A = this chain, B = another copy of it.
């Protein structure tokens, strides 16, 4: 099994139960999650030696976040304690034509205020095989952007493969700032994950005439952008999940990958959604797992799509599925028949 490093923010997630709106809620369901943390949990589930690097406050909320990761076998040895607070996000799960609502309360979190000196990156990346980050981390603060580049430099010094999930968050930064910072970071990246919207907002690639709201997918447009991306940044792979949002309750879910040579579009799943948060992270984790396992580009993509389809049926940020469960779905059994 490989040693995989992820770095980013883990947040306290507070969600209303049972389709309640915020104003109705007398209780919030509690879990912990965040883009890179979710990837770490998935990889740990698949048996990899997954490290999550972050900073959390030295209080019971920070402790609880670490415990949540530890429960799922994520190595927390490089999590630093200090700073003022754990970032929070509030989630109201939508249904049908009512979209889920996310309210961020993550400013001034411990990781947003962390200093590169908090971490010994060369020690962290010693013997590591893979490093994964997302476009969210450099977006949360200028300090976090600096921190991310320091981590990337250390990863490269240690010959670690690097993947990024572009993950544009319009509530965190402008497209201008995103492009300025992310374009620079792309020099360290081997595998780039991001949909058309990300590619445009974060890296400035003009999409074709795809309209993400309508749910239409124009594979041709994707291939065109992927080509541009590889030409500019020399990525080994460019990958995108393809979500067709029929409604907040039902989505189509597939993905495509391009290696500069061949463009491949996966099988598509129609999903009855339980919790779509973390869907993209479980996709990234599936892809990384597939590539680390030495699967072909196509097989890795199918593994990633199946893994993340399953995530949509599980409450919380984390994807709690085993390799066996993913492989069963890849193998074609989506019938949902009870095993007994």
Contact = CB atoms under 8 A, between A and B. Distances in A.
A14 B28 contact: yes
Given A30-B25, A30-B27, A335-B247, A272 B95 contact: yes
Interface in A61-102: 61, 63-64, 67-68, 70-73, 84-86, 88, 90, 92, 94-102
Contacts of A104: 340
A231 interface: no
Nearest to A334: B97
A262 interface: no
A325 B248 CA distance: 14
A84 B108 CA distance: 11
A14 B56 CA distance: 19
A314 B214 CA distance: 24
Interface string A14-52: 100111111111111111000000000000000000000
A97 B21 contact: no
Interface string A133-176: 00000000000000000000000000000000000011100000
A246 interface: yes
A336 B64 contact: no
A26 B23 contact: no
Given A60-B23, A71-B67, A98 B336 contact: yes
A256 interface: no
B98 A277 contact: no
A234 interface: no
A312 to B, nearest CB: 7
Given A29-B26, A247-B336, A315-B24, A107 B85 contact: yes
Interface of A: 14, 17-31, 59-61, 63-64, 67-68, 70-73, 84-86, 88, 90, 92, 94-105, 107-108, 169-171, 212-215, 245-250, 269, 271-274, 276-277, 309-310, 312-316, 320-321, 325, 329, 333-340
